[in-house]
Amino acid sequence: MRISAKADYAIRALAHITAQGGHLPVKAEHIAQAQGIPLTFLLGILRELKNAHFLRSQRGADGGFYLNRPASTITLAEVIRVVDGPLANVRDASLRQMTYVGPAARLADVWMAVRAALRSVLDVVTIADLASGSLPESVEAMAAGYAAQVSREPLARG
């Protein structure tokens, strides 16, 4: 899976709005500047998040974007699906309908496991978790395990 800039920016924008209180309007310009996101790109993302009912907007001098539902109910997986589509897409086909033959016969099972692994993280981390800096224990453990593994690996040759 590749995390697109669009998904990364959408999640960061929602986390920023949440950290600002979530219920008070936050200007797109403020989000763009604080998060280092190009404003024109961010405006399109905010529009998508509004269309998906994650956000509401208010016009005027005191306007901006604010959450339409509690941040604790918005998972990272939901946001990614809204802006990019399925979490792990293989040739735009349903994993349950994929069949392979010979030595690749179990490949559909591998793709299903990849999707399940992604969901085990992205379906449990919420925007509220991210904004508060407190991730679920299972995710903290995975991240720590990965960091330990990477620190033991020799430097890759360029």
In sequence order, what DSSP letters do the residues of 6-53 get, joined into one string? HHHHHHHHHHHHHHTTSSS-B-HHHHHHHHT--HHHHHHHHHHHHHTT
pLDDT confidence of residue 11? 98
Distance between the two ends of the chain, CA-based, in angstroms?
22
Compute the distance between CA of residue 130 and CA of residue 127 in angstroms, rounded to an integer: 5
Domains of the chain: residue spans and CATH? 5-85+124-152 (1.10.10.10)
Q: What is the model's pLDDT at position 99? A: 83
What is the reported pLDDT for 40? 96
Give the integer Cα–Cα distance in Å for 99 and 77. 26
Q: Are 76 and 10 in contact (CB under 8 A)?
A: no
For residue 70, CA distances in Å to 23, 29, 128, 133 come to 9, 23, 8, 16
Q: Which residues of the chain have pLDDT under 70?
A: 92-93, 155-158
Give this prediction's pTM: 0.86
For the stretch 64-104, pLDDT in tens is 999 999 999 999 999 999 999 888 777 766 777 788 889 99
- Print burial letters for 23-49: b (CB count within 10 Å at least 16), e (below 16): eebbebeebbeeeebeeeebeebbeeb
Distances (CA, A) of 108 to 84, 99, 101, 102: 22, 7, 10, 12
